[in-house]
Amino acid sequence: MFRLIEERHSDIVSVRIENREFQVPAGISVAAAVLLCGYKKVRNTPVTDSPRLPYCMMGICFDCLMNIDEVPNQQACQVEVRENMRIEFQRGAAELVSLE
Ligand code: FES
């Protein structure tokens, strides 16, 4: 469904999405990486359990909330992929965590 517009991404990073390893272009967002890897759902809403997928890709809709490197509620469209990043989808409401 999604593909890169141009093939000018020379740097590649390895990320783990839902415990599967993928090679994605460096510099793209986590949301873009997940879409590029073919996922059709990234979370379920806490109240109605409705499936969600990144929508606006610019930090407005919050439909891209994911657990990134064990930190929940990250706006994946605002986070750049990094080598060995661990990306997990959220199911329902996320626990609040302290970053300290
Ligand atoms: S896709 Fe809308 S806030 Fe990330």
Instruction: Tell whether 33 is covered by a domain.
Output: yes
pLDDT digits 0-9 by tens, 46-100: 889 889 999 999 999 999 999 999 999 999 999 999 999 999 998 877 776 666 7
Instruction: Tell whether 73 is covered by a domain.
Output: yes
Ligand 1 contact via 30 beta carbon (within 6 Å): no
Instruction: Tell whether 59 is covered by a domain.
Output: yes
Q: Alpha-carbon distance 56 to 76, whole Å?
A: 11
pLDDT at 1: 67
Domain residues for the domain of 48 are 12-91
Ligand 1 contact via 53 beta carbon (within 6 Å): no
Contact 81, 65 (CB under 8 A): no
**CA 59–ligand 1 middle distance (angstroms):** 4
**CA 62–ligand 1 middle distance (angstroms):** 5
Instruction: Tell whether 57 is covered by a domain.
Output: yes
Ligand 1 contact via 64 beta carbon (within 6 Å): yes
Instruction: Tell whether 99 is covered by a domain.
Output: no
Report residue 10's pLDDT band, with 50, 70 and 90 as the boundaries: confident
For the chain, what is the domain count?
1
The 8 Å CB, 24+ separation contacts for 3-7 are 3/36, 4/36
Instruction: Tell whether 31 is covered by a domain.
Output: yes
The 8 Å CB, 24+ separation contacts for 57-65 are 57/29, 57/31, 57/32, 64/30, 64/31, 65/90, 65/94
pTM higher than 0.95: no
- Give the rounded distance of the alpha carbon of 51 from its chain centre: 14
Q: What is the CATH number of the domain that holds 44?
A: 3.10.20.440
**CA 58–ligand 1 middle distance (angstroms):** 5
Instruction: Tell whether 83 is covered by a domain.
Output: yes
